[in-house]
């Protein structure tokens, strides 16, 4: 015998657990200190979590939380890769700079 669905007009039963973490703080920090475009997407996904949970769309709320976490990670990865590439470019420029004259040395400072 299968369980009957609730009558129309009644909200679905809430799962036993709590609402998923929305990663809003991490999204804001990633936006400020890492990669702005990816951080904005993470903020949008983070703000959807609580609303979806309150509407009873528990799977969608979990999916939004997972997406927010994914975008925060990509934001941090993009910032680290950018910083490494920037460091490499600066090192190459420093190694190829003309340091034979005092004017060249003063221009680098």
Q: Buried b / exposed e across 100-109, counting CB within 10 Å, b at 16+?
A: eeeeeeeeee
Give yes or no for residue 107 having a pLDDT over 90: no
Q: What is the mean pLDDT of residues 17-42?
A: 92
Tell me the C-alpha distance between 24 and 17, whole Å. 19
Output the pTM of the full model. 0.73
pLDDT at res. 104: 63
Q: What is the dihedral of CA 81, 86, 92, 96, to 10 degrees?
A: 170
- List pLDDT tens digits, range 66-102: 999 999 999 999 999 999 999 999 999 888 876 666 7
Q: What is the pLDDT at residue 74?
A: 96
* Statement: residue 33 has pLDDT above 80: yes
């Amino acid at each position: 015998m299968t369980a009957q669905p609730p009558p129309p007009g009644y909200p679905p039963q809430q799962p036993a657990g709590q609402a998923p973490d929305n990663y809003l703080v991490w999204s804001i920090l990633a936006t400020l200190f890492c990669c702005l475009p990816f951080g904005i997407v993470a903020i949008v996904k983070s703000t959807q979590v609580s609303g979806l949970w309150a509407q009873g769309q528990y799977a969608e709320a979990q999916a939004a939380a997972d997406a927010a976490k994914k975008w925060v990670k990509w934001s941090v990865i993009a910032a680290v890769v950018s910083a490494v590439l920037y460091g490499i470019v600066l090192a190459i420029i420093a190694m190829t700079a003309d340091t034979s004259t005092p004017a060249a040395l003063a221009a680098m400072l």
